[in-house]
């Protein structure tokens, strides 16, 4: 940084602190990744100064010759990479992208059907209180007790409720989605089928994960997860979508503007364009394959340590772990891991008996650590670290329980699981786990061996 420290030392300090945090910890939240220096340069470019409300050739302001060329170029890269008929690159993020599709293809009060939040779906797929269920009539499908999607129940629900649009997409589901089954169900009730592939778009771009494009009408995705781009989103109309409604692309463009947004973020679009070019390279395909290999290695090692994985494992970039057999809440494990330099997130598991803000599970993924160049041997080491964290927390919880019982002086035994739902108790539990600092040193040493180079040549 050249100018920022002089202009705003407070912000500069925070940026340096965040740089250090990312460099010295393991980024294992599945929806996070490390963009290249090239993407960072594009996002920080002069395109951030330009207002470009409208679309190429149809802007509301002057001085658009470069903006038009940029957006057209990025649109063509999307169409080529994902083999779609139409693309909109202006959505600011995944949530407005999804809402734009709903408003383009449906009327207020129309029925949408998406995976329930408890089963691994996203807020924008019809969760209570989200705009997707406030302005539309939302019904949810679920997974079976084994954690897999119940396609038979999904079909029965679709026949019964007759949704206008079905969403095939997840945010905490580790297995492959059967696009054909979704398509057969949607076609049988005459519904639009939308794939939200935000988590897997980088894997889809390289053929590591099956593409939904031949089976669905419209596709949405964020650009900052496995696609390894800046924060933004894409909306794509497939050939099947054009066949169902030749005006679908125009409707979606109008839903973005003037529907729910104003001017696009041209600097983000520039960064997305760079990421798309990177994603079309052979190196990126190798990277995508390694993401899955790393996840499978984590799976095998965690299972050896006695962890319970929802569905028993993974086919993609993420794993969902049920911590109940470890007698710990997901919050406690997530906090303990963070203190030890392993950054993941607490998450509900299917049929979770605990409330959303103190759920039973954790969610972790491999895109970010794979971007550092880590491979299978390092996954074994990381899984061992996670086991060490959990074992240490278990011991601390047992000590805390004994202390509480002794303090109770013969009163009824305290329920530690209920007490653990309080943030103060979790904080105390983690604070009284000295082993975490020793694990942190080992994590930092591993990170030092695999620095954040951010150089991803195409």
Distances (CA, A) of 356 to 102, 349, 449: 26, 10, 37
| Residue 352 among the catalytic residues | no
Active-site residue (options: 50, 77, 175, 225): 225
Active-site residue (options: 79, 231, 285, 432): 231
pTM over 0.85: yes
d(CA 284, CA 190): 37
- Joined together, the tokens standing for residue 175 give 């297995």
| Residue 184 among the catalytic residues | no
Active-site residue (options: 222, 223, 238, 301): 222
Which domains does the chain carry?
42-279 (3.40.640.10), 287-449 (3.90.1150.10)
pLDDT value of residue 404: 63
d(CA 452, CA 334): 23
| Residue 222 among the catalytic residues | yes
| Residue 225 among the catalytic residues | yes
Q: Kindly indicate the confidence band of residue 1, based on its pLDDT and cuts at 50, 70 and 90.
A: confident
d(CA 174, CA 57): 42
Does residue 403 surpass a pLDDT of 90?
Answer: no
Whether the CB-CB separation of 223 and 230 falls below 8 Å is answered with: yes
Whether the CB-CB separation of 52 and 64 falls below 8 Å is answered with: yes
Does residue 406 surpass a pLDDT of 80?
Answer: no
d(CA 175, CA 299): 12
Active-site residue (options: 32, 40, 51, 417): 51
Whether the CB-CB separation of 81 and 280 falls below 8 Å is answered with: yes
| Residue 53 among the catalytic residues | yes
Does residue 290 surpass a pLDDT of 70?
Answer: yes
Which range among 114-118, 229-233, 287-291, 404-408 shows the weakest confidence by mean pLDDT?
Answer: 404-408
d(CA 234, CA 275): 13
Q: Kindly indicate the confidence band of residue 407, based on its pLDDT and cuts at 50, 70 and 90.
A: low
How does the average pLDDT of the chain come out, rounded? 95
| Residue 142 among the catalytic residues | no
Which residues, 6+ apart, have CB-to-CB distance to 233 below 8 Å? 91, 92, 93, 94, 96, 97, 198, 220, 221, 222, 223
The mean pLDDT of 56-78, rounded to a whole number, is 97
Supply the DSSP symbol for 143: B
Q: Kindly indicate the confidence band of residue 299, based on its pLDDT and cuts at 50, 70 and 90.
A: very high
Residue-wise pLDDT tens digits, 108-154: 999 999 999 999 999 999 998 899 999 999 999 999 999 999 999 99
Residue-wise pLDDT tens digits, 14-31: 999 999 999 999 999 999
The mean pLDDT of 247-275, rounded to a whole number, is 97
For the chain, what percent of residues have pLDDT higher than 70? 97
């Amino acid at each position: 940084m050249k100018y920022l420290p002089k202009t705003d030392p407070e912000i500069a300090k925070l940026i340096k602190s965040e740089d250090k945090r990312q460099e010295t910890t393991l980024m294992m939240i599945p929806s996070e990744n490390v963009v290249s220096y090239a993407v960072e340069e594009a996002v920080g470019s002069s395109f951030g100064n330009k207002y470009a409300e409208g679309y190429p050739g149809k802007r509301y302001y002057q001085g658009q010759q470069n903006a038009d060329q940029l957006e057209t170029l990025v649109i063509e890269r999307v169409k080529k990479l994902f083999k779609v008929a139409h693309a909109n690159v202006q959505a600011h993020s995944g949530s407005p992208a999804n809402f734009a599709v709903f408003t383009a293809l449906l009327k207020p009060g129309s029925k949408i059907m998406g995976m329930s939040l408890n089963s691994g779906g996203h807020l924008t797929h019809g969760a209570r209180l989200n705009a997707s269920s406030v302005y539309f009539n939302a019904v949810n499908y679920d997974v079976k007790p084994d954690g897999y999607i119940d396609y038979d129940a999904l079909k029965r629900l679709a026949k019964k409720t007759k949704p206008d649009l079905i969403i095939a997409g997840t945010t905490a589901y580790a297995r492959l989605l059967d696009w054909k089954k979704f398509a057969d169900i949607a076609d049988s009730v005459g519904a639009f089928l939308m794939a939200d592939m935000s988590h897997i778009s980088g894997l889809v771009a390289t053929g590591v994960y099956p593409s939904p494009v031949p089976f669905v009408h419209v596709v949405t995705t964020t650009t900052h997860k496995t696609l390894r781009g800046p924060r933004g989103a894409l909306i794509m109309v497939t050939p099947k979508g054009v066949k169902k409604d030749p005006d679908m692309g125009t409707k979606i463009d109008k839903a973005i503007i003037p529907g729910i947004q104003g001017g696009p973020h041209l600097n983000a679009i520039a960064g997305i364009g760079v990421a798309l070019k990177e994603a079309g390279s052979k190196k990126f395909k190798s990277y995508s394959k390694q993401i899955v290999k790393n996840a499978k290695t984590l799976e095998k090692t965690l299972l050896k340590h006695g962890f319970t994985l929802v569905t028993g494992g993974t086919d993609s970039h993420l794993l969902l772990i049920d911590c109940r057999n470890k007698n710990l809440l997901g919050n406690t494990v997530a906090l303990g891991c963070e203190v030890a330099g392993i950054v993941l997130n607490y998450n509900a598991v299917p049929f979770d008996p605990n409330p959303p803000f103190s759920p039973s599970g954790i969610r972790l993924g491999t895109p970010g650590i794979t971007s550092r160049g880590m491979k299978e041997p390092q996954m074994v080491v990381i899984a061992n670290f996670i086991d060490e964290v959990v074992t240490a927390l278990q011991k601390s919880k047992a000590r805390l329980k004994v202390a509480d019982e002794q303090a109770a002086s013969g009163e009824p035994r305290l329920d530690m699981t209920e007490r653990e739902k309080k943030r103060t108790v979790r904080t105390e539990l983690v604070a009284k786990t000295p082993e975490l600092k020793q694990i942190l040193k080992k994590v930092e040493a591993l990170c030092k061996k695999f620095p954040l180079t951010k150089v991803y040549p195409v």
